[in-house]
Amino acid sequence: MLFLTLPSAAGPLRVATFASLLALFAAQGCSSPSQPTSSTDASAAGATGAAADSSANKGSSALQLVAELRGPQFVGVAVTHDGRVLADFPRWDYNPVYPIALVGSDNSVKPYPDASWCMWNDSVKNEPQKHWICPQSVHVDQKGTIWVLDPAAPGLKYTVVGGPKLVKIDPKTNKVVQTIPFPESVVPRKAYLNDVRIDTQRNIAYITESGIGSLIVVDLASGKARKALSNHPSVKADKSLQLKADGHLMVDAKGKPMQLNADGIALSRDFQYLYYMPLTSHKLYRIKTEALRNAALSDAQVGQQVEDLGTVPASDGLEIDASNNVYLTSFETNSLMKRTPAGKIETLVQDKRLQWPDTYSLTPNNELFITTSAIHKTPNWNKGVSMQDQPFHIFKMALPK
């Protein structure tokens, strides 16, 4: 009988047993890219919001399986420069024992950076800056440093007071070397920190905030953070959209359509441009980082420098390579997409195993890692009942060098 190691309080669980339980529950209830050109791939990939044919596959042979777990759900992935794979398990519908974990080739998980950081219960609630509460993003910067972004909002509800933080970890010692807390003036109780990118030349972090909608700019030397574009449409959900994932309409238990703000983020390799988009959107935006760093500019003046790069598929995760190709995850069509500097949208892979492709991690040797988080099958979007019917995956694919 096959066993999978689960980073949850339940411990190891037989696959057959899990499947039976699930069935029971279900029965119960850079150089500057030009403006985009026309592309037939864009519409075929769901840029208009069309549902995918779940049987369609394209380029599946390019995907290599890295890991698969029946649970808990993971959303983010990062690969260290020495090849270790890190994943983050937010406290949404599950309560993971290891919210940040090293994932082995045998599907094993180990707490990172240690078991103490992974502990969150009543005994440590007076130390919200020393424990993972609900980590959303793990990222490795160009120098190989590990960063963990913790919005500290279990169940996607209000933030834990004093909990939101950005944490820097030395990959050589596996020790936390800096913790940057965020005050409520920057991260209000209804905010949700989503993803982060690091300018290693200027020691600046850029963060998307998807709860209320904004970008956050952090001076890593001083630890000071400020909001940007908090009133700009580029960070807000498109309320005219009703998204589907794998044909499933994304509405909550009350029938309200999914409306998520600034989410995906990518920083050009020369640190000159920041690319971002709301999750509920078919628009990709970018802005010169110089404008974001200039605290003397008003929010309106910064907003005037936002560039609309045109129509793209709704995406949860973004990444960019040295040639300024922007990679997008298309959860509407179970696809991995690429936007060229000329604005053409291309489908790299379409595969029914890509159940809500979520987060990218691009390694120095041009391997693109990707998670599948199956958000559309979680209880939040299925009237309180999990419809998860396959493992959560980490895949990788080689990109041209």
SS3 per-residue string spanning the chain: CCEECCCECCCCEEHHHHHHHHHHHHHHCCCCCCCCCCCHHHHHCCCCCCCCCCCCCECHHHCEEEEEECCCCCCEEEECCCCCEEEECCCCCCCECCCEEEECCCCCEEECCCHHHHCCCHHHCCCHHHCCCCCCEEEECCCCCEEEEECCCHHHCCCCCCCCEEEEEECCCCEEEEEEECCCCCCCCCCCEEEEEEECCCCEEEEEECCCCEEEEEECCCCCEEEECCCCHHHCCCCCCCCEECCEECECCCCCECCCCEEEEEECCCCCEEEEEECCCCEEEEEEHHHHHCCCCCHHHHHCCCEEEEECCCEEEEEECCCCCEEEEECCCCEEEEECCCCCEEEEEECCCCCCEEEEEECCCCEEEEEECCHHHCHHHCCCCCCCCCCEEEEEEECCC
Give the tokens for residue 390: 């396959």
pLDDT in tens, 170-229: 999 999 999 999 999 999 999 999 999 999 999 999 999 999 999 999 999 999 999 999
Question: What CA–CA distances, in Å, run from 126 to 160, 238, 239, 315?
Answer: 11, 38, 39, 36
Give the tokens for residue 292: 């974001």
Determine the pLDDT at residue 38.
37
Say which CATH number the domain at 15 has. Answer: 2.120.10.30
Identify whether the C-beta of residue 265 lies closer than 8 Å to the C-beta of residue 214: no
Q: How far apart are CA 20 and CA 114, in angstroms?
A: 33
Determine the pLDDT at residue 13.
33
pLDDT in tens, 340-369: 999 999 999 999 999 999 999 999 999 999
Identify whether the C-beta of residue 214 lies closer than 8 Å to the C-beta of residue 256: no
Q: How confident is the model at residue 383 (pLDDT cuts 50, 70, 90)?
A: confident
Higher pLDDT, 399 or 23: 399
Cis amide bond preceding 113, omega within 30: yes
Q: Is the predicted pLDDT of residue 27 greater than 70, yes or no?
A: no
pTM of the model: 0.87
Region 269-273: mean pLDDT is 98
The number of folded domains in the chain is: 1
Determine the pLDDT at residue 138.
98
Identify whether the C-beta of residue 146 lies closer than 8 Å to the C-beta of residue 168: yes
Determine the pLDDT at residue 57.
83
Determine the pLDDT at residue 293.
97
- Residue range of the domain that includes 336: 3-398
Q: Across the chain, what does the average pLDDT equal?
A: 88
> Phi-psi bin for 118: left (phi > 0), alpha (psi -120 to 50), beta?
alpha
Q: Is the predicted pLDDT of residue 42 greater than 80, yes or no?
A: no
pLDDT in tens, 159-183: 999 999 999 999 999 999 999 999 9
Sign of CA dihedral 256, 208, 135, 281: positive
Higher pLDDT, 28 or 190: 190
Q: Is the predicted pLDDT of residue 14 greater than 80, yes or no?
A: no
